[in-house]
Each structure stands twice: as structure tokens, then as C-alpha cells.
Structure 1
Amino acid sequence: MPPEDRALSPRTGWTRAHWEAAADGLLAAVTPYATPGRALYHLPGGRASFSGHRSDGLEGYARTFLLAAFRTAGAGGADPHGLLGRYADGLAAGTRRPGGDGPEDWPRITDRSQPLVEAASIALALRLTRPWLWDRLDAAVRDRAAAWLADALTAEPWPCNWELFPVTVGGFLAATGHATAAARAARERGLARIETWYAGDGWYTDGPGRAFDYYNGWAMHLYPVLEAHLSADARLLDRHGSRLETHLADYARLFGADGAPLHQGRSLTYRMATTAPLWLGALTGRTPLRPGATRRLASGTLRHFLDRGAADPATGLLSLGWYGPYEGVLQRYSGPASPYWAAKAFLGLLIPPDHPVWTAPEEPGPAERADAVTALPAPNWLLQSTSADGLVRLHNHGSEDARYDPHYTRLAYSTATGPAPPGAEPDNHFGLLGEDGAISPRHGLEPLGAGEGWAASRHGVGTARVVSVVLAHGAAEVRVHAVTDAPPGTPVRLTGWAAGPVPRSELLPLHGLVAVPPLPPVATAYTARAVTPAASGRTGGAASVFVCAARLTAETRPAPLGGLVRVEVDDDGAAHTVTARWQDGTEHRVQLTAGTAQVEHRPAPAPGTAPGGTTT
């Protein structure tokens, strides 16, 4: 890496030169794994995706080509390492006999197949490098490549962010005059389909249901806004650019002071791809962030992962994992080259070097500036950040995707902890215990709202209903769970954060619960030995309420948790009222009745004034 520049980048030390050097290193590392014609990249790793060896090799080509495209297009076509020649050779070899059984033949694009995903990266890379690669190819190679890509225009995507892959391919083919009618139709069809998943406030679900995660940033916003930008489509940019700008106001809060993104959702092995929407906002002028804050967040995340071993020190290859290798963040579609969708992080290289995003001094991100508890109504999340330790915590009362548990179903996530792996008893969970000792899952989530320092949801467990409310203030939380229509005496268990010694996880039973031994230690993405505190209780009638305080903190000498909040629980039989009075005078009151919750927030009075008003 080049020397640090602490004058320009006082918080990370990294500049555009560091991004260029990182891209060069990642591209150099994959070179030995190309097939002779450079059409496939068979990276090591001892794991194949369910799509098979040939598809995994195509993934290696497509995702590293995207990185090469950002690197060379951002340098105005300058290509001292011969990257474009390498990928031009691969394009010619891979499309010579698509679907054949030769050692380098690319698989065809069919309905819901992985090559559809990779076609989007290839099309985008070709579009970005068109003057230096596509326009210089032999006409026969262009025709073969366009014919291979054209299958993406009619292949049926999975009903999620995949709808945008035909959009991206269609944008390129229309721009180059290939299958223009079909290309434009695919573009309009995909953009129309994602409209039903727009939840407002800049947030999309990743398909039907309530799967809120980073696919908002590295897919749902990325492809439409890039298409609008590259096509100079002012109408499309106005619609999707405004959504991106709104989204970034929330999105910037998902990064810890150390550069770590929140550890939530699937495909987390893409790591620094989380920075793509930050750069996209700067590239298109659709961002609420100041240039120095954009670069600080993005460079902080890139450095966070590279400093912690995301690129194997022996090979330079990105591993399947989080920092180093870790199976717990992988899905069935994860193959050896999957991590190279981290290439999206390098979109910032398309921004000219003299742009303020590269020349302005770094400024602190939201998690560094002040303590904040922020409600995000669309996903029904509550974000809690503390400047003393730089941690960000997400309280999840609106996102779920049962296919990818545990990264959607937990009550909370953070920038410094990962969920316990599949098969282990869940952390950050409340459930009823069956006769076999198994704890009930959390699914069928119904959001009940999010507001000033609170978020709430409910779900069913057989005939019983569980209402869950979190109250947050500073670094502390009060977790409230009401169970109705469960047999009296049903055991329940509540668990806290799965963490190592730092940050520290605390759980303090306050009503209806007693502390029990912590769960057996497990390995998470952050530590080989995470310990999860636990508490247990039993239902006592038609409706039972369980309350505890919790905290995740990296402060060296935090104040005792028990002194930060006083909790009272009133029970009139048909309803319960839980009142939390925080140390500074702020108050939350939760009314639980008939399987629902209402929350009142009363802010701390200013010195010398009467108590403030109430919001619900």
C-alpha cells in the first residue's frame, strides 16, 4: 500500500491511491487461476456452489472483470497491467461454443440460473470499458458475446433483486444496437417489477415479504441508478436517484466507527460491497452526505476488512467468510469466487480524481459524531449507536427471511457481533420451550411500529402470540415480551448478545425472569468463543410479561447496567403496563393488551422545566 495520508484522511489514512492499489492486488491474486483462454477462473477453496464447477468458473471471470472495469474505466482506459486484454481473450474463448462441454465453454443463461447473475456483471463491465474493449473486438466476437448475453433478456429471474439483471444486460445491448427491442422490453419489465417491493423512505424488500438487508444498496438501488446514469435517462434518475438519496440518510448509520458494517442479512461474504451505494450517491450527485464523510465511511470499511485478513495473506484471495474463512455467513449459492462481488465497492474509482469525494478531508461518520437512537419505519428497525465505543446496534422488528436464518430472524444485530451459527441455540432471541427442550422460532413477523427509542413486533407460536418491544437509550436496552394464550407454566427463555470478552454482553432480568447459565460457547464471524447470556421464566396465566435489561458495550469502564434504568410493571389482569424511567429522566411507557402494544415516549425535561410532551 502507498504511505498513509493523515492530512487528507485523518481517520483512515487512505486515499484514492490506496483503493487503486487494493484493486490491483486483488486482480493480481486471481491471475494464476484462469484457464488457458482466460474464460473461467477456478479459484481454490474446497467448496463448490450448487450451480456447479463451470458456473463457479464463470462467476470468477464475471466478478473480477467488473473489478477490472472499475479500475480501468476510472483511469480513463489506462491499463498498465493488461487487464482488458485478459478479459477480452476470455470473452472470445467463453462464447466460442456456449453450453458446450469444452474446458472453457460458458454455460448458457437459462431460467433462474447463476449465469444470469454473472451476465449482469459482464454486461456492466463491457459497458464501462466499451471504448477500450468492446469497440475494438472483432465483429464475430461481439456478435457471439451479444448472442450469449441476449438469453438474459428472456430468462425468468427469481422474484427478487434478480429482476434487475436483465435490466442491466438490456441497457448494454440497447446501447450497442443488439436485440434492441427485446433489450428495451427487458429493461422496462424489470424496473416495473421492483416497484411492488418499494416500501418507502428509500427502502426496498428483496422480493415479496419483508427481507430488508444490504441488497437494498448493492442491487435494488445500484442497478437502476447506474442504468439511469449510463443512459443519461433524466426521468429514471429523478425517480431512482431521489430514492437513493433518501436511503443514504439511513444507510450511513449502518457503519461502526471502526468501519465495520452491520452484520445482518445474507451474502455477507461480499463484505465491502456495502460501500457501493455510498459511492453511487457521490457519482450521481444524489446523496445527502458530505464528500469527506462518504470517503471516510467507504475507506473505513475497505480498510476494516483488509486489515483483518479478508484477503488471505498467503494468496491474496478473498476468502469465503467475513474476516477470514467462516462457513456461518455462506449460502448454498456461495462458490469460491462469490466474495468477488466485493468488486462493487470499487465503483468509487469511476468518480474523477479531482472530485471533492477524493479531495475533501475526511469527516466523521454518524456513529462517531454523537449517541443516537434512530427509528427506521419502513423496515421497522431501531438503530442504536454510541460514540464512546463506536458500536452500532440494529433492533430488528420488521425483517425476516426464513430461508436464510439466522441473519434475518434475530431480535438484534451489531457491527461487532455475529449471530450464533445454524444448529446452535439462537442468541438475541425470545422463545417458548417445547417438551423436548427445543426453543420456538421467530417467524411470521408482524411489525407493530417504531418510534422515539422503541420498536415493536409480534409473531405466533402455535396458538400463542408473542409481542416483543425494545426500548433503547444510550447503550442500554429494555426488552419486553408479552405471551398470550400459552398454557400456564410454559417455560420461556430469553438470550442476549453472542459476544467475546470485548465487546461485553450483559443481560439483567427485571420481571418474570431469572438468570440462568449462559449458552455453550460458539464460534461466530467475529470470535472463536462467543458467550451468550440467558434468562428463563414460565408463563403464569392468560397473559404473561417478561422484562430484562440488556447491553452490548465496548466501553472500558461502563456504568453499572442496573443503575441506568428503573422498570415498573403494572398488571390489571387484562393488560400490562411497563414503565421504563431512564437515568436522565427520559421515560417510556408500554401498554400491552390483546396481543398488541402501544408505546409512549416522554423526553427528559430540560433543566428547570416541567417534563416534556408525549409521543406515541
Structure 2
Amino acid sequence: MLFQLALAQNKKNNTGLQDRAIWVKSLYKISYPVIHNLANETLKKNMPLEKLPNYGLNLTKVTYLEALGRTAAGVAPWLALPDDETEEGKMRKSLRLELLKGLANSVNPESPDYMNYRTESQPIVDAAYVAQAFIRAPEALWKPLDDLTKKRFVEEFKALRTRSGAYNNWLLFSGLTEGFLLSIGEQYDPARVQFAVNKMKEWYVGDSWYSDGEKFGMDYYNSYVIHPMLVDLMKILVDKKRAPQSEYDLVLKRMVRYSEYLERLISPEGTYPAYGRSITYRTAAFQALAQTALMEKLPDYVKPAQVRCGLTMVIYNLYNGSQNFDQQGWLVLGFNGHQPEVADIYTSTGSLYMATLGFLTLGLPADHKFWTDEAAPWTSLKAWKGEQIKKDYKVEY
């Protein structure tokens, strides 16, 4: 059934306009409750606090910043597009203006939605996603903030230096936040930046895969965190002449190769394997592919239209129905439905909004070839239809 739906979808949407509408509807549906409530200072009042009995964090100290940072990092490229009078343009503008209000509320000590950066280790993670939103959309989300709000963010980011996190992908969180401070001319900690970069070099295991710490684990953290944050951090370091261009080119080349894996993981039906920890992050599994497409760095043999069509089917399968939302529109613990048993000990409602990271390619305007090219089958769909596909290979960089 899903296979036939994929074939029909692939044939029907030959302009990409319907595909884009599915992306926009889904991203808006996911992000609106977080952004709208934060703008109205009702996030802490209204966001549900779902978690497992063995949840291991201080829930109310961390979950709200998780929701903000992860949502903002995912919607940032889309909100960075210029205003227009289309229905999508009006939705985008409304969401951007509310997010700007919400960002100010989140660092205002007088606001009921003031968020915690000063205690616990988890804010190291989600401050980095806030910083990444500013990196991805500086003109839309950072520069419009008033001077006091900017000053408050800088102070909160610097306050994170009193703590350290896990010895794995967490090093990139500290590194990226410090990299953002460098990018805006603030005092930054070069040791935290260099330590993150150096360990990622050491933990590279080949063929585009990084080990998440000293031992390799098969999960989606190369996409959730490692490739996108490392590429963004190295871009800042090159721009600020703190690293050679060759180092950025190498990490980008590795992300491009990894994006090929992600494209091949999309099944003919538009599903993908539910393996590894943190599968509750849903479409964040495709962040590296979405970012590679956004940067227009896809390999020649991975056509933008096949990425669009494959990801559209994934997004449609996950979000067109209501199985992943509660009655108020908040995401629920699970992978495709309410499946709390797959949540990790660090997963709560706020954690789930990493799902927005799979939508980065909405930052390409509607008249870009990613959206306007004729529909094309993705690799697995072609393979299972018996069509020609490119032989896969191992790379040595």
C-alpha cells in the first residue's frame, strides 16, 4: 500500500509545489505550539511534560530550552526567506515575528518563560541549538533582536562555561556556542572550540562516519549533531581565519558523502529504519541530507528532485496524520505514534522538537530547482523497480 502511494506521489507531484506544501504544513504544525506559546509567555503553562518513569534529568530545568533551541534551529532557514504575500509567506512572517518575541521572553528574567542556562548540564546542548538558529538565520533571528536581548543571550551562553558535558558529540555543543560568540565579535573560549574540532578528527572512522566518542555506536547522531554542527563550526573558523579552508572542505565533503547514505535509507515506501538511540527525534535523522541539499552540495548523481520526493514521502508518512501529536498539537513520545517505550532516559516533550531539523531545505525558495524540477524516484525506489542505480562505494577521505 505504501509502495503504491509512493509511486502515485512520485508521478503526481511533478512541479514540487504540492511537495513543498506538505513540508510547510508539517513544519508549521510541529513548531507552532512551541513558538506561539513562548511568544505569549505560556510555554511553561501549556506544554505537556511527558517522560518515562526512569527519566534521569531535572525536567522543568531543561525541557523548555530543549523545545526552543531545537525548534528554532530547524525553522531558521525557512524563516530567513524574504516576506511575500503568498499563504506560505504570511505563515512564515507570523511565525518569525512570534519567534523573535519568544526569544526575547526566553532570556528575560521577569518573564514566566525565562529559561534556565545557569544550572544542569543539559542546557549546554540546547544553547547550541539556539546559537545554531542564529548562525543559520542571522538577518532574520539575531540582528532584529534588541540590544538588551542580545546582551542577555551572550551572558547566558558564557554562563555555560561553569559546566562540562559528556565526552562525545556534546563537545560540539560547547564548540558551536563558542563559535557563535566568535562570529559576532564576542570574547570566546578557543580551547573549547579546538578541543571539539580535534576530537572529531580523532573520532573519524572512515567513509563519512564519526564515532560518537571513543566507541562507535550505530545510530543517527552523525545526522542529529555531528556533521551539521561540525560543518557550521568550521565555516565560522574559516571565515574568522582561525582554520584553513582545506579543513572546512574536508568536513563538508564527508557530510556530502554521509548524505548519500541517508538518501539510500529512504525505503521505496518512504519509511526508514528505526534503529539506535533517540529515534524519538523522528525527521532529525535526515538533517545532514536536508542541510546538504540546502547548501546545494548534493553529488551530481543525487538529483535534488529525488531528495525532495523521498523526504516528502517520509514527512507525509510521519506527519500527515495525527498519530504523532496529542489533542492540543504537541508531539508525543514515540517514533511513529505514541510509543513511550522507545524513549530514552533523557527524553521528554521538549526533546522531541529536534524533528524540525529534517526540514532545513525549506530555506530554498519555492522557485528553486529543488522544488520546481520534475519529480524523480529516490535510490531505493529505483532499485526496487529494477531501474538503473549508481553503484555505491567506499571513500578514503
TM-score (norm 1): 0.54
* CA positional deviation for 1:221: 0.8
Q: What amino acid is aligned across from residue 215 of structure 2 in structure 1?
A: G
Distance 2:172 2:162 in 1: 13
Q: 1:58 aligns with which of 53, 65, 68?
A: 65
Contact 2:228/2:288 (8 A) holds in 1: yes
Q: Which residue of 1 aligns with 2:381?
A: 368
1:171 matched to 2:179? The reply is yes
Match runs of 1:123-272 below 5 Å: 123-152=131-160, 155-180=163-188, 182=189, 184-229=190-235, 233=239, 234-272=245-283
Once residues 75 and 378 of structure 2 are traced to their aligned partners in structure 1, the CA distance between those partners, rounded to angstroms, is 29
Aligned 8 A contact 1:110 1:151 in 2: no
The answer to whether the Cα contact below 8 Å between 1:108 and 1:148 also exists between their aligned partners in 2 is yes
Q: Percent of aligned pairs with the same residue?
A: 25
Q: Deviations over 1:232-277 (max 9, x none)?
A: 6543431111111222333322221111111100110111112211
Letter aligned with residue 203 of structure 1? W
Q: Which amino acid aligns with 2:368?
A: H
SS of the equivalent of 2:357 reads: helix
Equivalent of residue 71 in structure 1, options 69, 74, 78: 78
CA distance in 2, matches of 1:38, 1:192: 41
- TM-superposed CA distance for 1:12, in Å, is 9.2
Q: Deviation string for 1:376-402 (max 9, x for gaps)? A: xxxxxxxxxx559xxxxxxxxxxxxxx
Task: Provide the residue aligned with 1:277 in structure 2.
Answer: 288
Superposed displacement of residue 216, structure 1: 1.1
In 2 relative to 1, CA 205–131 (structure 1 residues): closer, same or farther, beyond 3 Å? same
Segments of structure 1 that go 5 or more residues without pairing to the other structure are: 371-385, 389-450, 452-616
2:47 maps to which of 16, 19, 43: 43
- Equivalence map 1:543-554=2 (5 Å): none
Cα distance change, pair 235–368 in 1 and its aligned pair in 2 (3 A): same
Query: Which residue number corresponds to residue 350 of structure 1?
Result: 363
What is the CA–CA distance in structure 1 between the aligned matches of 2:344 and 2:135, rounded to whole Å?
30
1:114 partner letter: Q
Residue aligning to 2:101: 89
Deviation at residue 358 of structure 1 after TM alignment: 1.8
Matched, 1:305 2:318: yes
Amino acid at match of 2:285: T
- 8 Å Cα contact 2:256-2:292 kept in structure 1: yes
Contact in 1 for aligned 2:79/2:140 (Cα 8 Å): no
Q: Residues 299 and 230 from structure 1, CA distance in 2 versus in 1: closer, same or farther, beyond 3 angstroms? A: farther
Q: State whether residues 42 and 57 of structure 1, in contact with CA within 8 Å, keep that contact through their aligned partners in structure 2.
A: no
Give the 3-state SS of the residue equivalent to 2:205 in structure 1: strand
Note the alpha carbon deviations across 1:14-49, whole angstroms, 9 max, x for none.
422321222222233345654853675752254375
1:614 is matched with which residue?
A: none
Q: Secondary structure at the match of 1:15?
A: helix
Report the counterpart of residue 290 of structure 1 in structure 2: 303
Higher share of residues assigned helix: 2
Cα distance in 2 for partners of 1:239, 1:110 equals: 36
Q: CA deviation at 1:117?
A: 1.0
Over 3 Å counting, the alpha-carbon distance change for 1:231 and 1:20 in structure 2 is farther
Determine the structure 2 residue equivalent to 1:477.
Answer: none
Distance in 2 separating the partners of 1:73 and 1:335: 28
Equivalenced residues, count: 365
Rate the CA distance shift 1:76–1:240 in 2: closer, same or farther, 3 A: farther
CA contact (8 A) 1:320 1:339 kept: yes
CA deviation digits over 1:411-463, x for unaligned, max 9? xxxxxxxxxxxxxxxxxxxxxxxxxxxxxxxxxxxxxxxx9xxxxxxxxxxxx
For structure 2, list consecutive stretches of 5 or more residues without a partner in the other structure.
Answer: 1-7, 240-244, 387-393
**Correspondence for 2:24:** 20
> Which stretch shows the higher mean deviation, 218-227 or 13-22?
13-22
Superposition deviation, residue 76 in structure 1: 6.1
Q: Is the 8 A contact 1:198 1:204 kept in 2?
A: yes
In structure 1, what is the equivalent of residue 123 of structure 2? 115
Report the residue type matching 2:115 in the other structure.
W
Q: Hey, what's the Cα distance between the residues in 2 that align with 1:29 and 1:226?
A: 28
Deviation per CA, 1:284-335, whole angstroms, max 9, x where unpaired? 3433321112112211211121135344273332211112110222001111
Identify the residue that residue 333 of structure 1 maps to in structure 2: 346
User: Structure 1: which amino acid aligns with 2:288?
Assistant: P
- Which secondary structure does the structure 2 equivalent of 1:199 belong to? strand
Say whether the 8 Å CA contact 2:234–2:247 is kept in structure 1: yes
TM-score normalized by structure 2? 0.81
Deviation, 1:65, is: 2.4
Offset of residue 75 of structure 1: 4.3
- CA distance 1:339–1:387, change in 2 (3 Å): farther
More relative contact order, 1 or 2 (CA 8 Å, 6+ apart):
2
Structure 1 letter corresponding to 2:59: G
The question of whether the paired residues in 1 share the 8 Å contact of 2:50 and 2:333 is answered with: no
CA distance in 1, matches of 2:320, 2:130: 29
- Superposition RMSD in Å: 3.1
Q: Which has the larger radius of gyration?
A: 1
| Partner Cα distance (2:45, 2:307) in 1 | 33
CA contact (8 A) 2:171 2:196 kept: yes
Per-residue deviation, 1:63: 2.2
AA aligned to 2:360 is L
Question: Contact 2:306/2:377 (CA < 8 Å) preserved in 1?
Answer: yes
Counterpart residue identity of residue 104, structure 1: D
